[in-house]
With several copies, the nearest count.
Chain A
Amino acid sequence: MADKVRTAAQVVGSIPDGSHIALGGFAIARNVNTVVHELIRQRKKDLTLSQCVMGMDTDLLVGAGLVSRLIVGGGSLDRFGLVNCVNRARESGGVIAIDATSLSISFAYLAGALGISFIPIKSMIGSEILARLEAGEAAERFQRMDCPFTGEPYLLLRAIQPDVALVHVQRADREGNCQIDGPRWENEEQAKAAHRVVVIAEELVATDVIRQRPERTIIPGHRVEAVIHQPFGAHPTAVYGCYDYDAAHLTEYVRHTKRSGGIEEYLERYILNSSDYDDYLHKSGGLKHLDTLKARPGLGY
């Protein structure tokens, strides 16, 4: 059995500048912050990111200036605020945003996962979203077509196959078999579409634990290149069954990102001066504080 456990630093060292990275977070849940921090520390450049609903993970990477292109459905930090770094970069032209919808991104990942290079969809037709896409930098990814069987008009999407997908999961074994508790948003299709899959696991379990509930294995080990074991690795976003979002930290984050220059302070304080994620967790309140976020049994948060 291959032991795929790696550190975030090892994994990020193998990701070239200019890569297309798919992020597994959704708003304030299961953000892939463990790898995001390391990408920022290693000052990667010219990244393309894709995701259905952006959260803190994408906002951090854009705020740190690592990103050239976004392929996304939407984004928000739920009631804590907007993805201010992303929005500011859009407004200033600092990033090219290919704005689509949650379903169209999911369909494009599905096509990528199935190995079909295109897939039809009915969304976006008749909207300014599509008008902009068809006039924009990624126009060659969209094509209109009538169904040859029914005559119904469709939009064809080009499949998305990211270079790397990052997914934060509740548990994995050392071979990479992953289980996700709670809803899975686009994680399965996104990971299976990618050429390389890296998972960050709250818990590292024996393969025998996986074999007890094979129906829960969302990403099988042979699809996974590396497993990073990082408890509280999605902090301050939530991981169902493990811990709740950290409301105070998210509030502090949005307070920083709202004003120009604030993100740099946040990056300095929490990421650039941290040696690794454990060091960041220590600066964010440490074990005592994290303990207050731990999920209560029967509730999952």
Chain B
Amino acid sequence: MATEHGSSSRAAQSVGGIRATEIMAAAGARELHDGEVVVVGLGLPWVACALARRTHAPSLTSIMEIGVINGNPVDTPVGLADSRIFHQSTCWSSFLDTLGMNLHRGLVDVGFLGALEVDRYGNINTTLLKGEEGQVTYVNGSAGGNDVASLARRVMIIMRHQKRKLPRVLAHLTSPGFVDGRDRAETGLRGDGPHRIITDMAILGFDPDTHLAKLLSAHPGVSVESIIENTGFPLLLPDQVATTPLPDEEQLRILRREIDPGGAYLNERFA
């Protein structure tokens, strides 16, 4: 994280020692309602779910696409195929169950996704990057990302706020948001599409009519100007820009003492 490495003044400043990752985790948790079903990967989305479960949403169900429901890791996993995330689950199943009988069935309220790039309609690229001369560098592809973006009721993107990562035109549209601004149903997709982009500078939403990305709140200490400067696409601005709430004492205690005492995610540089 920027605040950890002191390499940038553009991201959320450490306010009273609160890191941008903590603001993001709390912001993610706030978007989750009790009883909802969430498809989640590792990293900050997983921290956000864990925080929500331990505070206002004890009946949240977290599903990992590999076939793990409500795991309770006691050691830090290195990835989605790490046995550490299988620990103490309530159910072990399969892609067909998690992505089929839950996500495709229309039962997933929230899907969390990361991104190499996101455009102003919330379309996501996780497949490849293009250099200045058009040369292509492949990365991970979709895996379940396109499925989640196509089918979850609300999609939440957690990513680093950089101009090149929020471009006018994606190098590749892996996972659809509002595509070219059309209604989701018109595109033939289920779910309501992208809901929030949570970055280390701000929280973005989408205009209900045009489906264009819109600034909702700036993290404490981050100026609207620097957000615009670090966004590659034109960003809708509200009349008044709110300030993202800081996590409270109890949330910070849970994040730091219970969920991620080693700082594996909260100290992390994330893409």
Residues of A bordering B, CB below 8 Å: 1-2, 26-29, 52-53, 55, 72-80, 82, 86-87, 90-91, 99-104, 106-107, 110, 113-116, 121-129, 152-153, 175, 177, 182-189, 192, 207, 210-211, 214-215, 217, 220-223, 237-238, 240-241, 244-245, 247, 295, 299-301
For the complex, give the distance between the alpha carbons of A177 and B93 in Å. 13
Q: Indicate which residue in A153, A237, A301 contacts B84 across the interface (CB closer than 8 Å).
A: A301
Partner pick for B86 among A86, A124, A192, A300, CB 8 A cutoff:
A300
Is B210 among interface residues, defined by CB-CB distance under 8 A? no
CB-CB nearest in chain A for B177: A126
Residue of B80, B92, B95 touching A106 (CB-CB under 8 A): B95
**Is the beta-carbon distance between A238 and B81 smaller than 8 angstroms?**
yes
| Residue of A with least CB distance to B144 | A102
- Complex Cα spacing A184 to B113, Å: 22
- B178 to chain A: closest residue by CB: A126
Q: How far is the CA of A192 from the CA of B151 in the complex (A)?
A: 17
Cβ contacts B137-181/A at 8 Å (1 or 0 each): 111111111110011000000000000000000001111100100
A216 to chain B, nearest CB (A): 9
Residues on B facing A (Cβ under 8 Å): 35, 37, 58-59, 61, 64-69, 72, 74-75, 78-84, 86-96, 99-101, 103-107, 126-127, 135-147, 150-151, 172-176, 179, 187-190
Q: 11 A-B pairs, CB-CB below 8 angstroms?
A: A28-B78, A99-B142, A101-B143, A101-B147, A126-B188, A129-B142, A175-B59, A185-B66, A188-B96, A220-B61, A299-B87
Closest to B83 in A: A301
Q: Are B142 and A192 in contact (CB under 8 A)?
A: no
Closest to A80 in B: B78
DSSP majority for the B interface?
loop
Establish whether residues B150 and A102, one from each chain, have CB atoms under 8 Å apart when the complex forms.
no
Contact yes or no, A2 B143, CB < 8 A:
no
Given the known interface contacts A2-B59, A113-B105, the answer about A102 and B96 at a Cβ–Cβ threshold of 8 Å is no
Given A52-B95, A103-B99, A217-B90, is A114 in contact with B105 using a C-beta cutoff of 8 Å?
yes
A101 to B82, Cβ gap below 8 A? no
